[in-house]
Amino acid sequence: MAKIRVSYEYSEAEDKSIRLGLFLIVCGVVSLFILGFCWLNPTLQNMQCKSANCTVISVQQNGEMFECPFSCGADCRGTSLYPCLQIYVNNSESNSKALLHYNEQQLVMNPKCSYIPPCERDNQKNSEKVLMLQGYWTEEISSQSFTCFFNRHRRPDDVLLMNSHDDNVLLHCVLWPLVTLLVGALIVVLTICTKSLAVRAEAIQKRKYS
């Protein structure tokens, strides 16, 4: 009876290991599928951005005000206003006028403006941040060329100051799901090999005592 009980417990442990391995394999495959649509495709598109030299043409506020959401605590949320700063630059690659944006996220959030400040509850503070940046670009950068990024096919009239997606994002999109998938496969293979060795050892032991 003791031998039967040990064998049953061992078989149950094997089943749990196999189920865990299969669960990890499924998680890895699903993660690859989801990240492929959510991160990999946008990253590959963004990696088509080319670097260029940009020079400032004009720095101005166009008079429009836009809303931004702020949070000052668990029950303190709302929207405030910030002025629209537009920094127009000359793109050396296409030799054309383009609107500069800090990164692609800000471009998507507000394609009309070059900068979205960290949102404060006080509209005046938002205006001061934008005015400070306007002065910096007017006085410090206006006579200098700097590296910018553009995508001729997606947004030929816009350039980015920061290329937010890079090879690291692509690496993480693929690496961690693959690690999960490989660990799951390794657990399943090791469990099957252990079971096979146990069966052989039991058969050899039976031959000895038969």
Q: What is the SS3 assignment for 119?
A: coil
Task: Output the DSSP codes for 124-156.
Answer: HHHHHHHHHHHHHIIIIITTSEEEEEEETTTEE
What's the pLDDT at 45? 57
What tens digit of pLDDT does each residue of 65-83 get? Answer: 999 998 877 777 889 999 9
The whole-model pTM stands at 0.59
What tens digit of pLDDT does each residue of 167-196 get? Answer: 555 666 667 777 888 888 888 888 888 777
Question: CA 133 to CA 142: how far, in whole Å?
Answer: 12
Q: Which residue has the higher pLDDT, 166 or 55?
A: 55
Which stretch, 45-49, 55-59, 184-188, 206-210, has highest mean pLDDT?
A: 55-59
Pairing of strands 145-151, 155-160: antiparallel
